[in-house]
Each structure stands twice: as C-alpha cells, then as structure tokens.
Chain A
Amino acid sequence: MSDKLVLDNISKVFGDGDTSVKVLDRVSLQVKAGEFVAVVGPSGSGKSTFLSIAGALLSPTSGRIFLDNKEINKIPEQKMNRIRLEKIGFVFQSANLIPYLTVQDQLLLIPKLAGKRNKNAEKRADDLLKRLGLDHRRSHYPESLSGGERQRVAIARAWMNDPEIILADEPTASLDSERGRAVVQMLADEVKLRDKAAIMVTHDKRMLDLCDRVVYIEDGQLSEQPVNETKTS
C-alpha cells in the first residue's frame, strides 16, 4: 500500500522572538491509501493548525509534506489553491455550504473552479448524490436541509474532485450522535471504496471506533496509540 500523505518532522511556530509560540513540534504522520485516521486532542492542542498544514492552507515552519508522493511544502502559496483544488477534499465544521447554491450546484462548483466543465462532472455529481442518499434533495438550498443532510452534501462536495485525501474538521460538531455517526460512517465507507485516505480532527470519542487509527495530539506533539480494531463493513 502506498502512502497518500506523509508529514515528516513538521514544526509550526507563530510569531517570532520572545513572543513566539510553538504550536506543532516535530510532528510526523503517515497515512496510507484506504486508511481513515482520527486526530484527537483538547482545544488549543494544535489540531486546527495540524489540519491546515496537512490541507495546504498553511506552510510549516520546518519539515516536509508529501501528498501523493509529491513534496508540496516547497510550492509557493499562490499555487497552493491548485493543490487544494485537485488533491484535497475538505469537510468543514457545520458543513459550510454556499447558501445560494442548490445541492447539485454545490457539487458542480468544484469542476467549475478547476475549469473542467463537462458531462463527466454532471454524471459524477449524480452518482455521488445517489450514493449519499441526496438524490431527492438535488434542487434544494442548504437552508432547507437538515444538519445531517448538509454534512452529507459537504462530503459529496469533498469527493467531487476525486481527491487523494479528505480532511475533515470536526464534521460531527453540529450533529447529534446518531446522525454524526452516520456521517462518519459514510466518510469511512467512501475511503474504503475509493482506496483514498482521510484524516478527521474530532473530540467526539464516540466516533473513534469507525476509524482505522487514532492519533492523539497534545501541546503540539503527536502520539500514536493503537485503537481497538472494530471495523465496519
């Protein structure tokens, strides 16, 4: 199995001189294809910074990042959006859908941004909506969807560009545990099905059994602990 994402000795320091804060301290992580990793930690532990760096939103102070066997920490910031557009799928807290786009347009926006507008994209959007059980909601606006449906749309959107890795930032934060679990289950299923990778930042311990691996982050340091191997189908 190949490594989808490799973080090698990543450090991130904010500010400089006396006021500098080391948010991440020599963090290393490897995520293989088909692997679903949870990152757990208390608030202020550096989870968001970790996810931002993994998601090519933020450059590390030192260390190297390989995404799909390509080193991306040397790419200038202006070109990072291309990496995000083509290689990474994001699922944010509380979905963060665009309020004036219908469910279908939320998905079609992604190929638009990439400048690829064709029948393929529409078919892809159709397939995703069907598989995530959103077919009957395709022409609804986010405001008329339930929280769980919105998060499912966000997951569908994240898969639209066929990314190598999905990064989820507390996707269950605004959901009750039953719906949250369904959403995470869906994410896990898609990762397995497509043989891609996913990292989910969460503090919701009830979801951890759906993940292949859990890493703990505290005070900017990552520690791996094995998790009981309850797998889903």
Chain B
Amino acid sequence: MFLALREFKHAKLRYLLVALIMILIAWLVLFVSGLAKGLSSDNASSIQNMNTDYLVLQKQADNRLNRSVISNDTLKDVRTFVSDKKSTPLGVQMTTLTKDGSAKKVDVTFFAINTNGMLAPDVAEGKMINNTTTNEVVADSSLKDNGFHLGDIVKDQASGKIFKIIGFTKEQSFSHAPVIHMNFKEWDAIHKANARGGEFFNAVALKANQDKADQIDNSVSGVDVITKSDALKGIPGYKEEQGSLIMMIAFLFVIAAVVLAVFFYVITIQKMNQFGVLKAIGAKTGYLAKNIVSQVLLLTIASLIISIALTYGVAFILPSSMPFDLSPQLVLGCSGLFLVVSVIGSLLSLYRVAKIDAIEAIGRAV
C-alpha cells in the first residue's frame, strides 16, 4: 500500500482516466442489470411473486401458461397426490378492457383464482374480492397510471362482461400487462359463451417438494409439472428479452476485464525498470504483486462506489413507468463479480512483474 497510494498521488491523471473508464463500464453494467431486472418483473412479476413451487400444465402446452388447458378431472387426479390446500387451479387469459364511458383500450391479463387459496394476492388499496361475487375484481396498481380508480367500471372486450374494480394489488403483471384477479364464478361467466363451454382453467399451482412433483409428472397423464422459472421462460418474449440483456451484461464484464488488463499491462511495461531497481534493493515479487493488486482493487472499489451512486442517482430521476429495479443484492452481486474480473485483468501484469530480473537494474543508464 505504501507504494500503491503514493503512485496514485503522483500520477493522478493517469489513474483518474483508468478510473473514469471503470466508472463508465460499471455504471453501464449496473444500469443494464437494473433494467433487465426491472423488465423481468415488469413482464412477469405475477409469476415471480406467486406463492407456489410448481405449476401443472397441459403436456402439449410447451411450458406456456396461456396455451395450456386443464380440466376439472385432471385437477382431481393431481389432488390424489397433494392436499386440496396445497394445490389450486389458475386461469390465465390475456384480453383487452375498456373503461366505462371511455373509448380507450388497455391490455390486461385475467388471473382466475380461488380467493381463499394460496394464490390470493395482497391488496394494497381497497378491498379483496371473495369467491361469491359475480362482478368484482382487484387490479394491479399500474392501471392507475392509465386513469383507473377504485370503483371504476370496466368492460371485457371479448365477452362484454362488466366488472367493478374494488381493490388494487402491487407488482402483479404478466407479459407486460397488468393482472386483474377474479374468482372462478366470474371466470366461468366470461367463458360461458365460449365454444369450449364447461369448466376449465390453464394450470394448477402446487406447493410440493421435488419428489411429489416428479410423481405427479409421471403418474397423471397429459400433464407437465414445471418450476416457476420454467413457467417464466414460457411467457411470450420473456426469454428473448432477458437473453439479450444478459448477453450485454456478460460482454460488459469481459470488456471491463480486458480494458483493465490492457491499461495495467501498459503501465507495468513502462515501469519495468523501476521494478528491476526495487527487486535489486530487496523487494520480493510478492510485495510488488501485492502493490499492483491493491492498486487494481482500490481503483475498482472507488469506481464501483461512484458508479453505484450514479446509477441510483439516474434511477431516481427516471420516470416511474420505466421498468428499473436495482436491489442491493443485485448491486452487491455485480460489484463482487466486477472485483473478481478486475483481479483477473491484473494477472497479466503480475506475470510480467514476476518475470523481471533484479539484474536489469545493473549496467542500465536509464
């Protein structure tokens, strides 16, 4: 640290420039990570926050909730393995709403649930629905940004059915559309006119361990038991959206490692003679290596602190409709990875320092 700090002090501009690049890269990494996380929850927070371990889907549904159709008979089959309390049906339908007295259309997703079951959402505002109502629903609070209020009357475009919003939930969305929770009475009413008729739903949510899930998967015919993360990937566009963002983040980490490696390598090459002198007067390679690593770590930590501040600063002025979600865990995770990557980047310099022979200091004029 003795040498590391004094060199920083003396060559301020050089290390400020390196730090500046680190700050920009770390800022970008954090920002894109926050965006990826934000988009992910904007897309599918209903599934992410769902109080379930597994979902039972129709076998031909390709892990897609909206393609799956499950009948009451299948539910009965499933319930021979798990108790009624730990399994509950779920209906999912994407549709379009209009507000009463307005021509504006909004895309939403209907979730049909047993309001006494484990999938019942927490209501942040207003009242929760129960299993007996025929025209009351709770909606995700993002609908408020579209001008919906408690007590508003909405009309489902496909069925023409009319509902009243009596409560708002938080962070309930599916495929970027706000989720509206209703009971199965209302769900059946919507689908009465439907060709399929009869009672059906899209999935069965399960609270079970891996063994139970496998057992159901093997024993009940015509179903797949999938995890929540598989169900997330089955949401239209979810996998593609996250895939491209994660690709960007991965590249940014590689770029950070390379930039740091190149900068420190060039700086090290410039100092070869100094390292020779230091070795000649008795410095061990380990001492010099420690100095380089502490320089890299100090620079990275300082850059990270500044970029974290910048990221939160920018997040603060972002409009609330912009999906951005940066949790402290995500920041810590990214920062940890960044530190590891930066140390990897300094390995090339350490190798050169280890190779320097003290004898280079003798007989040299410069």
Q: Which residues in window 1-17 of B have CB below 8 A to A? A: 2-3, 6-7, 9-11
- Complex-state Cα separation, A58 to B7, whole angstroms: 29
Cβ–Cβ contact B362 & A48, under 8 A: yes
Known: A48-B363, A109-B2, A169-B363. A84 touches B281 (CB 8 A): yes
**Nearest-CB residue, chain B, relative to A102:** B6
**A interface vs B, CB < 8 Å?**
47-48, 51-52, 55, 57-58, 81-82, 84-86, 90, 92-94, 96, 98-102, 105, 108-110, 112-114, 141, 157, 161, 169, 173-174
- Closest Cβ–Cβ distance, residue B272 to chain A (whole Å): 12
Q: A108-B2, A110-B281, A113-B282 are in contact. List 17 more A-B contacts (CB 8 A).
A: A48-B363, A51-B362, A55-B362, A57-B359, A57-B362, A84-B280, A85-B283, A92-B280, A93-B365, A96-B364, A98-B278, A100-B3, A100-B7, A101-B6, A113-B283, A113-B287, A157-B281
**Nearest-CB residue, chain B, relative to A157:** B281
Cβ–Cβ contact B284 & A81, under 8 A: yes
- Complex-state Cα separation, A55 to B360, whole angstroms: 13
- Complex-state Cα separation, A100 to B282, whole angstroms: 18
- Closest Cβ–Cβ distance, residue B158 to chain A (whole Å): 73
Cβ–Cβ contact A105 & B6, under 8 A: yes
Chain B residues positioned under 8 Å from A98 (CB to CB): 3, 274, 277-278
Known: A99-B10, A99-B274. A55 touches B365 (CB 8 A): no
Chain A residues positioned under 8 Å from B278 (CB to CB): 98, 113
Chain B residues positioned under 8 Å from A161 (CB to CB): 282
- What are 23 sample pairs from A and B whose C-beta atoms fall under 8 A apart? A57-B280, A57-B358, A58-B359, A81-B358, A82-B282, A84-B281, A85-B281, A85-B283, A86-B282, A90-B361, A92-B362, A93-B363, A96-B274, A96-B364, A98-B3, A98-B274, A101-B3, A110-B281, A113-B283, A113-B284, A114-B282, A141-B10, A161-B282
- Closest Cβ–Cβ distance, residue A178 to chain B (whole Å): 20
- Complex-state Cα separation, A47 to B9, whole angstroms: 38
Chain A residues positioned under 8 Å from B362 (CB to CB): 48, 51-52, 55, 57, 92, 169
Task: Return the 10 tightest CB-CB contacts between A and B, nearest first.
Answer: A85-B282, A100-B10, A48-B363, A84-B282, A100-B7, A96-B277, A57-B359, A81-B282, A112-B2, A52-B362
Chain A residues positioned under 8 Å from B287 (CB to CB): 113
Chain A residues positioned under 8 Å from B359 (CB to CB): 52, 57-58
Chain A residues positioned under 8 Å from B3 (CB to CB): 98, 100-101, 109
Does B48 make an interface contact (CB < 8 A)?
no
Q: Which residues in window 265-289 of B have CB below 8 A to A? A: 273-274, 277-284, 287
Does B366 make an interface contact (CB < 8 A)?
yes
**B interface vs A, CB < 8 Å?**
2-3, 6-7, 9-11, 273-274, 277-284, 287, 358-359, 361-366
Known: A98-B274, A100-B6, A100-B10. A113 touches B365 (CB 8 A): no
- Complex-state Cα separation, A169 to B366, whole angstroms: 13
- Closest Cβ–Cβ distance, residue A40 to chain B (whole Å): 15
- Closest Cβ–Cβ distance, residue B13 to chain A (whole Å): 13
| A-B contacts at CB below 8 angstroms, number | 85
Known: A85-B282, A100-B6, A113-B281. A174 touches B365 (CB 8 A): yes
Question: Which of B358, B362, B363 is packed against the most chain A CB atoms within 10 Å?
Answer: B362
Question: Which of A47, A57, A58 is packed against the most chain B CB atoms within 10 Å?
Answer: A57
- Complex-state Cα separation, A92 to B9, whole angstroms: 26
Known: A52-B359, A58-B359, A112-B2. A93 touches B364 (CB 8 A): yes
Chain A residues positioned under 8 Å from B2 (CB to CB): 105, 108-109, 112
**Nearest-CB residue, chain A, relative to B358:** A57
Cβ–Cβ contact A90 & B280, under 8 A: yes
- Complex-state Cα separation, A169 to B282, whole angstroms: 17
Cβ–Cβ contact A96 & B273, under 8 A: yes
Chain B residues positioned under 8 Å from A99 (CB to CB): 10, 274
- Complex-state Cα separation, A174 to B364, whole angstroms: 12
**Nearest-CB residue, chain A, relative to B10:** A100
Chain A residues positioned under 8 Å from B284 (CB to CB): 81, 113
Chain B residues positioned under 8 Å from A100 (CB to CB): 3, 6-7, 9-11
- Closest Cβ–Cβ distance, residue A99 to chain B (whole Å): 7
Chain A residues positioned under 8 Å from B283 (CB to CB): 81, 85, 113
Chain B residues positioned under 8 Å from A82 (CB to CB): 282
**Nearest-CB residue, chain B, relative to A110:** B281
Chain A residues positioned under 8 Å from B363 (CB to CB): 47-48, 51, 93, 169
**Nearest-CB residue, chain A, relative to B11:** A100
- Complex-state Cα separation, A100 to B4, whole angstroms: 10
Cβ–Cβ contact B274 & A92, under 8 A: no
- Complex-state Cα separation, A95 to B27, whole angstroms: 43
Chain B residues positioned under 8 Å from A93 (CB to CB): 363-365
Cβ–Cβ contact B280 & A173, under 8 A: no
- Closest Cβ–Cβ distance, residue A167 to chain B (whole Å): 9
Cβ–Cβ contact B361 & A96, under 8 A: yes
Chain A residues positioned under 8 Å from B364 (CB to CB): 92-93, 96
